[in-house]
Amino acid sequence: MQKERLNSEILKGGITEPKGFLSAGIHCGIKKVKRDLALIVSTTPATAAGVFTLNKVQAAPVLICKEHLSKGKTFKAIVINSGNANACTGQRGYDDAVIMANETAKELNIIPEEVFVSSTGVIGEQLPIEKILIGIKKAVKHLGTGEFENAAKAIMTTDTFMKSVSATFLIDGKNVSIGGISKGSGMIHPNMATMLAFVTTDAAIEHDVFQILLKNVTDRTFNKIIVDGDTSTNDMVIALANGQSEIKIEQQKESYDIFEEQLYQILKKLAIDIVKDGEGATKLVEINVEGALNNIDADKAARTVALSPLVKTAIHGEDANWGRIIAAVGYSGIEFNPDKFEIYINGHQILNQNYEIALSIQDANQTLKPKEINLLLKLNMGTGKATCWTCDLSAEYVKINGSYRS
Amino acid sequence: MQKERLNSEILKGGITEPKGFLSAGIHCGIKKVKRDLALIVSTTPATAAGVFTLNKVQAAPVLICKEHLSKGKTFKAIVINSGNANACTGQRGYDDAVIMANETAKELNIIPEEVFVSSTGVIGEQLPIEKILIGIKKAVKHLGTGEFENAAKAIMTTDTFMKSVSATFLIDGKNVSIGGISKGSGMIHPNMATMLAFVTTDAAIEHDVFQILLKNVTDRTFNKIIVDGDTSTNDMVIALANGQSEIKIEQQKESYDIFEEQLYQILKKLAIDIVKDGEGATKLVEINVEGALNNIDADKAARTVALSPLVKTAIHGEDANWGRIIAAVGYSGIEFNPDKFEIYINGHQILNQNYEIALSIQDANQTLKPKEINLLLKLNMGTGKATCWTCDLSAEYVKINGSYRS
């Protein structure tokens, strides 16, 4: 069953909305035609925070970023190529990532440790480093505040739309902005499985505070999106804060909560856009679990339902098959009393306690017609709750992932 | 890409190969046309062993079987219906399962506690108990030693072929037989996701020994098959031993090892047949992990690779995409040094240590042409090893599971 793909509106401004950030997105020849090299630059030194893949196989640029983040205090640039992940490439891959940082630093007249390096694309092939070096020179020439869409495009692999968002809000009477771009995961492609996001802000935030903020908000956004359970070797979220708004974000101040909420909205939008762009996705599914014994149980239940191929295919087929949902919660490993279980789809109760069917199959299936599905699972055992996002599983996903190179 | 389905030869004898076992498989009207009620009977009292689903949602027949197994010493019958799982059916479902045991006992002139009850099919609908009661009477009339194929057929849901196997071997100069039937899981169907297996033997085995034997062998067979990671509310393996061969199986005797090996071969065959019959499966994949730090790590790595939709779609597409395999091991959570990792497909080395590519993409893809794929992953870190079986993931799987009721 072929269904219309999901899409997403693009919010203005992006990563150059915050003061003092420039970007570029150009074509250097890793891909045949499309943009494949992005550069993000702060005109003044910025603090940074980063969250990286937990995969034991870590691509060379991930290793470089972690080194720079642990050693450096301020940063000025992020250079990203698409089309080649520089993963599983051994010592040569590591050396090439170092060369990317060095060349970017040289062209910007800064030091290599002020540069983050990121790659996404095919695993196991060496970078075409000569092309990239020429590309870096070209990108530096293109740097500007109007180039944020090109940067968003240049980090895409098989994404079908660019992911770019920004927000401007008041703190203590001054404008503060956050911008972000991301690219999809969704095991979107053979060997092209990486989730990347880059965030800029003109707030001033000390590294330790920024790191906690980014980790917390990432846990509630990027770490709550579930396409197919595969985890990439290259995943990363990097954020830069250059302080040009003259507003400092500190813990235990009201401004902290305002900033955290705005950062949450930005990362949530970027994360949900990745789910919407999951390979073959036709429906965005928000799963809310309430009434678990604790939040950890709620999260486990939500993730298990989100990962179940049976639940995901049923949603694709607009089949309100509550037996699959209850069975998935049942094997999630949490404390669970199925007699107390309730299911709501888009506000309509499907299943009441004691397995009482609340809607006919026909009416229940109607609740799955919209493109955005809200699944509410009430366990009625405690106060634990969790939210995650996933997409449906279509035959299209399998076709794309099974026949890429054949 | 549509590919030819896998199939399996049928081995002679089945569950009535062991002395003193009768069976029947009839149509009672739960399904429209096909057989839907099976009966397995031992002519003399048999000891029993059982392994049941770990899902927190347990169907009524699972509860009944566990009760009977914990209370009773000997058993004489197993009654199984297909077409309705009697799961998520509350008190009425429980009462119906009791009625099934009572009626079977009455017709066979035995006591209800000597009867096991099993169901598979749609979740959340009440059993058509009147039809089943008439069916039990009919099945008793059909009991015979030539009816094992009908029993194998009567437990099928969307299985495309029946699963029946037996073996006869010598212990201390006497013939001992084991027979078995199973039915598929593979999230074969919306709400029809159950793995069932029933095993008969004319060996004599005390309950405690039998239980350990069955659990150990189930762990190495049924618990090593991975179709899509969903776990049913109704899964069970039940085995009966009536002693009519006059051979007793006891621990720390040579005969124990012989019997265990034969039981392993029987359950392995029944388990692999379930994988072969996984919805949309076109390839059977055996995954062997060697050289993990320990067996637990090896098992985790094997399972993670077996569950990865990316690996499964690549195998379906005959794309020897080693990057997906190494990434899956990387996120399996085990101790892992990717520099030491080696991959072999059907005996051909694809990847050597230090990411050295051992075969061209074209040649590596050729290794995935056969219908049976052996994937050997060498971690070169220790002596831990594990084996599991899975199938490829095809667009067919999604189509069938997404559009059943639409």
Report pLDDT digits (tens) over A58-70: 999 999 999 999 9
d(CA A151, CA A25): 4
What mean pLDDT is predicted for residues A161-179? 95
Q: To the nearest whole number, what is the mean pLDDT of chain B? A: 91
Residues of A in contact with B87 (CB under 8 A): 323
What mean pLDDT is predicted for residues A274-300? 92
Cβ of B323 within 8 Å of Cβ of A123? The answer is yes
- Name the least confident of A186-195, A267-276, B5-14: A186-195
pLDDT at residue B167 above 90?
yes
Cβ of A321 within 8 Å of Cβ of B405? The answer is yes
d(CA A394, CA A163): 22
Reported confidence tier of residue B129, pLDDT bands at 50, 70, 90: very high
DSSP letter (8 states) at residue A294: S
Residues of B in contact with A193 (CB under 8 A): 310, 324, 327
- Phi and psi dihedrals of B341, rounded to 5? -80, 135
ipTM tops the 0.85 cut? no
DSSP letter (8 states) at residue A6: P
pLDDT at residue A35 above 80?
yes
Sequence-ordered strand ranges (E) for B206-332? 225-226, 236-241, 284-292
Residues of B in contact with A329 (CB under 8 A): 56-57
Reported confidence tier of residue A323, pLDDT bands at 50, 70, 90: confident
pLDDT at residue A187 above 90?
no
pLDDT at B192: 42
- Name the least confident of A55-59, A149-153, A378-382, B102-106: A55-59
Residues B254, B303: contact at Cβ < 8 Å?
A: no
Q: Which distant-in-sequence residues (6+ apart) come within 8 Å of A35 by Cβ?
A: A25, A26, A27, A82, A150, A153, A154, A156
- Of the candidates A194, A201, A304, A390, the residue annotated as catalytic is A194
The fold adopted by the segment(s) B284-402 is: Ubiquitin-like (UB roll) (3.10.20)
pLDDT at residue A10 above 70?
no
pLDDT at B184: 84
pLDDT at A190: 37
pLDDT at A401: 62
pLDDT at A229: 63
Cβ of B316 within 8 Å of Cβ of A90? The answer is no
Reported confidence tier of residue B308, pLDDT bands at 50, 70, 90: confident
pLDDT at B3: 54
Cβ of A191 within 8 Å of Cβ of B324? The answer is yes
What mean pLDDT is predicted for residues B277-286? 88
pLDDT at B212: 96
Q: Which of B68, B82, B27, B96 minimizes the C-alpha distance to B240?
A: B68
pLDDT at A4: 59
Reported confidence tier of residue B123, pLDDT bands at 50, 70, 90: confident
At position B257, the amino acid (one-letter code) is D
Q: Which of B401, B403, B406 to mutate to test the interface with A (most CBs of A within 10 A)?
A: B401
Write out the residue limits of the CATH 3.60.70.12 domain(s) in chain A. Answer: 14-276
Q: Which of A58, A401, A403, A406 to mutate to test the interface with B (most CBs of B within 10 A)?
A: A401
- Name the least confident of B120-129, B326-335, B392-401: B392-401
Q: Which CATH superfamily is domain A14-276 in?
A: L-amino peptidase D-ALA esterase/amidase (3.60.70.12)
Write out the residue limits of the CATH 3.10.20.340 domain(s) in chain A. Answer: 284-402
Percentage of chain A exceeding pLDDT 90: 75
Cβ of B193 within 8 Å of Cβ of A310? The answer is yes
Residues of B in contact with A328 (CB under 8 A): 230
d(CA B155, CA B171): 31
Q: What is the pLDDT of residues B22-78, one digit of tens each?
A: 999 999 999 999 999 999 999 999 999 999 988 888 999 999 999 999 999 999 999
Reported confidence tier of residue A400, pLDDT bands at 50, 70, 90: low
What mean pLDDT is predicted for residues A132-156? 97
pLDDT at B2: 45
Q: Which distant-in-sequence residues (6+ apart) come within 8 Å of B32 by Cβ?
A: none
pLDDT at B404: 44
Return the number of other C-beta atoms located less than 10 Å from residue B228's C-beta: 25
Residues B207, B48: contact at Cβ < 8 Å?
A: yes
Sequence-ordered strand ranges (E) for A28-69? 37-52
Q: Which of B83, B91, B212, B185 minimizes the C-alpha distance to B389?
A: B185
Return the number of other C-beta atoms located less than 10 Å from residue A9's C-beta: 8
pLDDT at residue A9 above 70?
no
Percentage of chain B exceeding pLDDT 90: 76
Cβ of B398 within 8 Å of Cβ of A398? The answer is yes
d(CA B226, CA B302): 10
Structure tokens at A397: 């996903």
Q: Which of A53, A54, A57 to mutate to test the interface with B (most CBs of B within 10 A)?
A: A57
B383 among known catalytic residues: no
pLDDT at B122: 83
Residues of A in contact with B191 (CB under 8 A): 321, 323-324
Percentage of chain A exceeding pLDDT 70: 92
Structure tokens at A247: 């507003």
What mean pLDDT is predicted for residues A4-17? 71
- Between chain A and chain B, the number of residue pairs with CB atoms below 8 A apart is 219
- Name the least confident of A303-317, B108-122, B262-276: A303-317
Please provide the distance, in angstroms rounded to a whole number, between the alpha carbons at the two ends of chain B. 23
Residue of chain A minimizing CA distance to B55:
A331
